[in-house]
Amino acid sequence: MKISLRFFASLREAIGHSQEELQTSALNAGQVRDELLNRGGAYACLGRERSVRLALNQVMVNEDALLQENAELAFFPPVTGG
């Protein structure tokens, strides 16, 4: 299936772009994250040791969220306040 990926803030800066299209056989958001991590390089910023947040079609979700054709999966870095 084809999905759209969006990257925000420091993740966008690390990866070098804000969005991309992905052809994937992943069933859920966590499997997409694994697929991106397997690319290595700049995608290491999505590592499990970081509290990266996910949104599926503009709704915050966990990694078990099921994907659908043409879905939008967004990745957000941890947010701190002060």
Question: How far is the C-alpha of 23 from the C-alpha of 14, rounded, in Å?
Answer: 22
Q: 42: phi > 0 → left, psi -120 to 50 → alpha, else beta; which?
A: alpha
Q: What is the pLDDT along the chain (82 residues), one digit of tens a residue?
A: 999 999 999 999 999 999 999 999 999 999 999 999 999 999 999 999 989 999 999 999 999 999 999 999 999 998 755 5
- pLDDT for residue 78: 81
- Domain-embedded: residue 82: no
Count of domains observed in the chain: 1
User: Which CATH number belongs to the domain containing residue 42 in this structure?
Assistant: 3.10.20.30
Q: Is residue 52 part of a domain?
A: yes
Residue 81: what pLDDT?
56
18 belongs to a structural domain: yes
Rg (CA), the chain: 12
Select from 22, 61, 67 the least CA-distant residue to 43: 22
* pTM for this prediction: 0.93
